[in-house]
């Protein structure tokens, strides 16, 4: 199904998954259609069993099941993925991301220059993208750039994200990995970047692309209200400033929280009607 090509022995691709079967399948197809294969793909399944189609791809896939109580611990899952990686370099891709054909080769070239923390770019595929004829060959054409980061030649630490980034295993350990005190959604990416900056780890942006598959979201993300409040509060204690301020102010405007320079008070929890109101399909 896939043509034979060069495999790099020095780079793993790591991803996390929870109930994203089709998205993961598209991501793996994208990796298999790349100009180079990774040494392995490490998949951490959070509170679910591995899927049944991993023998379809022309590179080794290592699937790990990670069971946790309560909210998903994305930091723990990322740290677990890196612990299981057997190569000196790793690329983290969000499970919703499909890599552009040269992504792995571009990272390989950058890693040969011995950078520290490297961030790629992301474009967003629209609703129904997979119904477009030959969509896998037209992702750039049918996608849109990130509205916040696309105009920036270099991402600041405050805008680091884990959708598409890479580093050496040694650098990851020097940063300290992701802080596992963050539970559920929000804040752990910025915390990781702030830890990197505090440790003197440089952050570089490269133009290698991943295409984010569309799925319904909430604006603001009321489905993650409690975890965002909890993680923001922890971040504030740790760093002396609030993360995710846009979301926090939006939650306050809509009456869910009271937000000051020092604390967040949860006032109301979202109702099913709120979920419908703020859903962006």
> pLDDT 10s per residue in the chain (281 long)?
565 568 999 999 999 999 999 999 999 999 999 999 999 999 999 999 999 999 999 999 999 999 998 889 999 999 999 999 999 999 999 999 999 999 999 999 999 999 899 999 999 999 999 999 999 999 999 999 999 999 999 999 999 999 999 999 999 999 999 999 999 999 999 999 999 999 999 999 999 999 999 998 899 999 999 999 999 999 999 999 999 999 999 999 999 999 899 999 999 998 888 778 888 87
Buried b (16+ CB within 10 A) or exposed e, 215-254: eeebebbbbbbbbbbbbbebbbeeeeebbbeebbebbbee
pLDDT for position 274: 79
Q: What pLDDT was estimated at residue 1? A: 55
Residue with token string 């490269």: 206
User: What pLDDT score was predicted for residue 122?
Assistant: 98
Rounded CA-CA distance 205/208 in Å is 9
The values of phi and psi at residue 54, to 5°, are -75, -15
Please give the Cα distance from 127 to 154 (Å, whole number): 29
pLDDT of residue 3: 57
The pLDDT score that the predictor gives to residue 2 is 61
pLDDT of residue 5: 66
Per-residue confidence (pLDDT) for residue 205, from 0 to 100? 97
Identify whether 42 is preceded by a cis peptide bond (ω within 30 of 0): no
Residue with tokens 């037209």: 138
Given a contact cutoff of 8 angstroms between Cβ atoms, the answer to whether 32 and 59 are in contact is yes
pLDDT given at position 138: 96
| Token pair 């043509």 in the structure block, residue | 3
Pick the CATH number of 11-215 from 3.30.470.20, 3.90.550.10, 1.20.120.140, 3.30.830.10: 3.90.550.10
Q: Are 37 and 7 in contact (CB under 8 A)?
A: yes
Domain boundaries, the chain: 11-215, 218-280
C-alpha to C-alpha distance for 212 and 172, rounded to whole angstroms? 24
Nearest to 168 by CA among 209, 115, 206, 121: 115
pTM reported for the whole predicted model: 0.95
Q: Give me the pLDDT at residue 272, please.
A: 86
Task: Tell me 17's DSSP state.
Answer: E
């Amino acid at each position: 199904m896939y043509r034979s090509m060069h495999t790099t022995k020095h780079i793993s691709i790591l991803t996390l998954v929870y109930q994203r079967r089709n998205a993961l399948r598209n991501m793996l197809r994208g990796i298999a259609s790349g100009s180079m294969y990774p040494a392995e793909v490490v998949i951490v399944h959070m509170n679910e069993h591995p899927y049944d189609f991993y023998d379809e791809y022309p590179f080794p896939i290592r699937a790990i099941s990670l069971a946790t109580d309560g909210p998903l611990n994305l930091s723990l899952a990322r740290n677990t993925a890196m612990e299981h990686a057997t190569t000196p370099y790793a690329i983290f891709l969000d499970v919703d991301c499909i890599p552009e054909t040269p992504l792995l080769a571009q990272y390989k070239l950058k890693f040969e220059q011995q950078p520290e923390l490297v961030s790629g770019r992301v474009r967003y595929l629209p609703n129904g993208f997979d119904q477009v004829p030959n969509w896998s060959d037209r992702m750039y054409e049918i996608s849109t750039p990130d509205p916040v980061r696309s105009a920036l030649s270099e991402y600041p630490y405050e805008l680091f994200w884990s959708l598409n980034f890479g580093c050496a295993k040694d650098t990851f350990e020097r940063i300290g990995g992701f802080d596992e005190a963050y539970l559920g959604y929000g804040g752990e990416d910025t915390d990781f970047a702030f830890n990197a900056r505090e440790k003197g780890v440089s952050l570089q942006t490269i133009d290698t692309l991943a295409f984010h598959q569309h799925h319904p979201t909430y604006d603001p993300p009321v489905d993650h209200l409690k975890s965002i409040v909890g993680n923001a509060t922890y971040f504030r204690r740790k760093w002396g400033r609030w993360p995710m301020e846009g979301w926090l102010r939006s939650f306050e405007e809509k009456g869910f929280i009271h937000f000051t320079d020092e604390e967040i008070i949860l006032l109301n929890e979202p109702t099913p009607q709120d979920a419908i109101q703020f859903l962006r399909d």
